[in-house]
Amino acid sequence: MPRPDPGSFRDPASHIVLDDSRVLRLLDDRGLAGWKALSASSLFDRATADGRLIASTLIDEPHGDAAGVLEHPRIPFISYPYEWTFSMLRDAALLQLELLEEALGEGLTIKDATPYNIQFVDGRPRFIDIGSFETYAPGEPWIGYRQFTRQFLFPLMLRSWAGLPFQPWLRGNMDGPTAGEMKHLLSLGKRMKPAAMLHVSLQARMEESMSGAAVRSELKTAGFNADLILTNVRKLERLVTDLEWDGTGQGWVGYEACEHVGRDRESKGEFLSSALATQRPGRVLDLGANDGYFSEIAARTGATVIAVDGDEEVLDALYRKGTTVSLALGDLTNPSPAQGWAGEERPALTTRADPDLVIAFGLIHHLIYTASIPPASVVRWLASFHCPVVVEFVSPEDEMVARLTANKTEAELHPGRTRREFEELIGLDFSTLAVRELGGGVRALYSLAPLSG
C-alpha cells in the first residue's frame, strides 16, 4: 500500500507516494497538463539525459483519483539545504536558475524555487520536483522569486558577504531569512552594493508597503512578460556565480597532514576494507568523515556512502573535488532532527541515513573529551544504528587526548575512558569481530557486530 511522502504535500497538483522501493508522483489535472508540456519539450530530454533532472516515466497504474502517475528512481540519500556546504547551495541555486531560463525559452516556467526540490546524486545537483514545471501564462511574473531570494540568494550572501554560516538559519526557519531580516545582517558597505540595494533593501521596503495587495493582474495589464523574468534570472546567475567563500581557515582542513593521521591511514584503510568485505553493506555512514578518505574506500565497493562532518570547509573541499559520496554537514552532538509540519516533513539525519555499516574513525575521543559525552552514552549511540560498526578507540595516554584535556582536571572528565572499560561497554551491545592496535597500543580499531539482529 503506497504511503504519502511526509515531505511532499504543499502543491495540490503533484505529490509523492512511496511504495516499497518505488517512488510515485500522483498528479491532478493541472499537474498532468504540466507534465505533458514538460515531457514534450527539448529541455526535458536534454536535462534528463545530462542528469540535471530526475528521470520520470508516465505509468498506466490507477492510484485513487490521480489524473496521472509518474514513476521516479529512488534518490539514494535525501539531504536538506541546512546540511549542505556553501558550494553545494550555490550549485543548486545555479541549477534552479539555469532550468528556469531554459524552461522560459520553451514556453514553460517553474512555479516555485526552493532547494528542497533539488537533491545531490553522484556529487551533482539534480532537480527532482517534476511537478514544479508548468506552461508559462503570458504576463505572469516569476512566482518563485521571493522564495529564491530567501532560500538560495540570502543564505549565500550571509556566508559570502557577512561570514555567517547559513545552515543554522535554514534549519531554524526553513523558509529562510526575509529581506527585512537580511537588512540587519549585512554591513552598511555590503548593503550599498547594487545587488543588495535591489534584492534586499528595496524588496524589504516594497514587501512592507505592499503587503497583501493583489498585483498580478496589474502587472499583466502593464505589459509584464517573460523577457523581464529572463533578464532578472540572468543577472541573478551572474550574482550567484560571483558569490564566493574561501573558508574560515580555522577548521579541520589539512588534518590528514597530521603525523598520527598519515601514519595510521593505511592500516585503518586495510581494516575497513576487511570489514567491508565481511559485511558487504549496501549503505555506509561515515561519521566524522573529514576529507572522505575512508568514505571513498567504502564507495569503491559499490555501497551508497553518506559522509557526515561538522566542518563546512573540509566537506566543501570534498564536494568541489567531485566526490560521488553523499555529503551531510552536521554536528554529531546535535544532528538534524525531524522537523517541519507535524514534525515529519523533514526526517532526522539518522533516519534518512539508515546505514548497514557505520564508520567512526578518529571520532569518539572528540565526543568524550571535547563534547563531554559519557563513554557509555557514546557506545549506546553507536549501538542505536542497529548495524555493524568499525570504530577507533583512543586511550587517555594518546598525545591528541592530552591536548584535548590540557585544560581539564580529572574531576571534570567522565569515568570509563580506559580501554578495558571501553571493551566492557562494547560487550554490552556488540560482539567483537576483529581488533587491530595502532600507534603502539594507544589507539585501537574494533570491528563490531550488534548482539541483537
Partner 1 sequence: MIFGYLDAGSGSLILQAILGGAAGILVAFKAWKARLMGKRAITEVQPDPDEQPVTTES
Closest approach, Cβ 36 to partner 1, in A, equals: 16
Question: Within the chain, how many helices (H) and strands (E) appear?
Answer: 20, 16
Closest by CA position to 249, among listed 187, 323, 311: 311
Q: Which is nearer to partner 1, 224 or 385 (CB)?
A: 224
* Angle ∠(411,404,292) on CA atoms, nearest 5: 140
Closest approach, Cβ 119 to partner 1, in A, equals: 20
Provide DSSP, 317-334. Answer: HHHHTT--SEEEE--TTS
Q: Which is nearer to partner 1, 130 or 329 (CB)?
A: 130
Q: Which is nearer to partner 1, 30 or 72 (CB)?
A: 30
Q: What is the CA radius of gyration of the chain?
A: 25
The rounded distance, in Å, linking the Cα atoms of 210 and 207 is: 5
Residue with cell 538559519: 169
How far does Cα 290 stand from its chain's mean position?
16
Q: Which is nearer to partner 1, 210 or 428 (CB)?
A: 210
The rounded distance, in Å, linking the Cα atoms of 173 and 181 is: 12
Closest approach, Cβ 242 to partner 1, in A, equals: 16
Closest approach, Cβ 239 to partner 1, in A, equals: 11
Closest approach, Cβ 207 to partner 1, in A, equals: 4
Closest by CA position to 81, among listed 166, 9, 199, 186: 166
Residue pair 50/5 in contact by the 8 Å Cβ criterion = no
Closest approach, Cβ 144 to partner 1, in A, equals: 7
Q: Which residues contact 284 (CB under 8 A, 6 or more apart)?
A: 276, 295, 298, 299, 303, 304, 305, 306, 355, 356, 357, 358, 359
Closest approach, Cβ 187 to partner 1, in A, equals: 22
Q: Which residues is 307 bridged to in the sheet?
A: 286, 327
Closest approach, Cβ 235 to partner 1, in A, equals: 7
Q: Which is nearer to partner 1, 75 or 219 (CB)?
A: 219
Residue 148 C-alpha cell reads as 529564491
Q: Which is nearer to partner 1, 223 or 453 (CB)?
A: 223
Sequence-separated contacts (24+) of 399-404 with Cβ below 8 Å: 399/260, 400/260, 400/365, 401/365, 401/369, 404/365, 404/366, 404/369, 404/370
Binding site for partner 1 (CB under 8 A): 10-13, 111-112, 134, 137, 140-147, 149, 179, 198-199, 202-203, 205-224, 227-229, 231-232, 235
Q: Which is nearer to partner 1, 212 or 322 (CB)?
A: 212
Q: Which is nearer to partner 1, 188 or 214 (CB)?
A: 214
